[in-house]
Amino acid sequence: MTETIIDIAVQLAPAFGTTLWLSLVSLVFAIVLSLCLATGLAARWRAVAWMIDVCINVPMVIKLFVCFYLIRIDANWCAVIAIVLHQSAFAASILYGGLKEVPHELEDAALTTGLSRTHTFFLIRLPVALRLVSPALVLQAVEIIKNSSTVSLIGVFDLTASVEAFQNRTFAYTHGFVAAAVAYAILTLPLMSLGWFWERGKLRGSPR
Amino acid sequence: MTRPSFIPAATIAAAILLLAITVDSSRWEALAQARQFFLTAIINTFYFSLAGASIGLIGGSLLASCRLVGGWPGTLAGALVMLVQALPPLLIILGCYFALPELLGLTVTPELAAVIALGSISSTYYCEAVRGAVAGVDPLQWDAAITTGLSRRASILKVILPQALPAAVPAIGTTSIVVYKLSTLLYPLGIQDFFRAAVLVNNHVIDPVLIYSLVTLFYYTTCKALTAAISQLSAAYVAKSAGQPSQTAPLTGV
């Protein structure tokens, strides 16, 4: 039994690294892009609203295949582009929801103290909105890890692909599935519980 | 709440116009030979989405009622929901096809695996939708129901659920769109849904620009149409739910 576990762990270790790398790189780019997109939404730029609309309504796999067949670059970077486009659209609309929740009085107060509109947005409105929606944004990071599994379809050797290879070699389907499930749970469960406890702590902390 | 926007309609019209202008007739004719294939694939897509959503709704209501009852069924249902949501949908779909036959000792066809996988993934989302709506009911309603001498069971069935269910309709609708998008992940099972059909036709015709533009346009248009239909429906239900604020849509996507 222990031998099987060690065998599977050795098989999956490089692929685990690939999934982790993909998720981390996508996370960094998605944070930057979603901040830009949310700012654009708040500034009522039609083009940004259009892009987010398209990115949310087209399934992740389609974006992945479009990137893979039409841009024709390295599969790893296709994966990053597709994940970033997909997740930052969702994160930006969550963030925009937070921006709309920020009370107008805060903004008015900041403007009266003589801050410019740009400063008011980046120093007052955005930080308050980020604090409001941070649990939901943490759950979006979980979505990045989960959606990174689809990249196995374009030949990136991530956890899902390596489990398939393992299963095809040893025919130990259940073992492979459980191993992959454990590996993904190691990545996602801590983040999910962070998001949930953050949400609950915020509910308890707020006077409402 | 949201103003009707001309952006989606304009996007679809512009895309169709662009395709009509830039693509010459020989490329359309190559595609037109596969029209029967595409038609079956579209029917398959809707069939699997509908089956997954129906099973998900049943499973989700069961899970949500377990969580409402509390005790060990509640803990079990909670753990199940957490576990399924921690795993990537693609892994669950592959697991249903490869690992289920070993666990259950029976043959699982790709179609059965697909429906089971879609159902189990979506049931967790439906469960959260129903639970969110129940949590949205004013706590004073619980107190009032208990004070009038109703049992817990009666207060759930007669007081809480009638108020909660109309408020759950928007979230249930958005979850159904998630199921529709999830059906694209059935690709590795070999089920001929629209996405897989397009990939196969592309392998034959080799015209990725045209075919993937069409696929993108198809999913964008259908998702927009479904969203519009569901927001119409939920507007009617939310109006019925006696001023309950509608549950915010779960912003998860595939």
**Rounded distance between C-alpha atoms, residue B184 and residue B194, angstroms:** 8
- pLDDT grade, residue B251 (50/70/90)? low
Q: Tell me, what's the pLDDT at B1?
A: 39
Q: Is residue B247 part of a domain?
A: no
> By a Cβ cutoff of 8 Å, what residues of chain B touch chain A?
7-8, 11, 82-83, 85-91, 94-95, 98-99, 101-103, 181, 184-185, 187-188, 195, 199, 202, 208-209, 212, 215-216, 219-220, 223-224, 227, 248, 251-254
Q: Tell me what the pLDDT averaged over chain B comes to.
A: 85
Which CATH number covers residue B69? 1.10.3720.10
pLDDT single digits (tens) A79-127: 999 999 999 999 999 999 999 888 888 888 988 988 888 888 888 889 9
pLDDT single digits (tens) B116-133: 999 999 999 999 888 888
The residue written with tokens 């999934």 in the block is A19
Tell me, rounded to whole angstroms, the distance of Cα B149 from its chain centroid.
39
What is the residue extent of each domain of chain A? 2-205
Token digits of residue B126:
């439906």
Token digits of residue A63:
């974006």
CB contact under 8 A, B252 and A143: yes
* CA distance, residue A134 to nearest chain B CA (Å): 14
**Rounded distance between C-alpha atoms, residue A176 and residue A178, angstroms:** 6
Q: Is residue B176 part of a domain?
A: yes
Q: How many domains does chain B have?
A: 1
Q: Complex ipTM, two decimals?
A: 0.89
Domain of residue B229, residue span:
7-240
- Report which of A137, A141, A136 is spatially closest to residue A23, judged by C-alpha positions: A141
Q: Is residue B248 part of a domain?
A: no
Q: Tell me, what's the pLDDT at B245?
A: 46
Q: Is residue B125 part of a domain?
A: yes
CB contact under 8 A, B91 and A174: no
* One-character DSSP codes across B211-232: HHHHHHHHHHHHHHHHHHHHHH
**Rounded distance between C-alpha atoms, residue B94 and residue B212, angstroms:** 24
Q: Is residue B111 part of a domain?
A: yes
Based on C-alpha coordinates, what's the Rg of chain A? 20
In the CATH hierarchy, which top-level class contains the domain A2-205?
A: mainly alpha
Q: Tell me, what's the pLDDT at B80?
A: 92
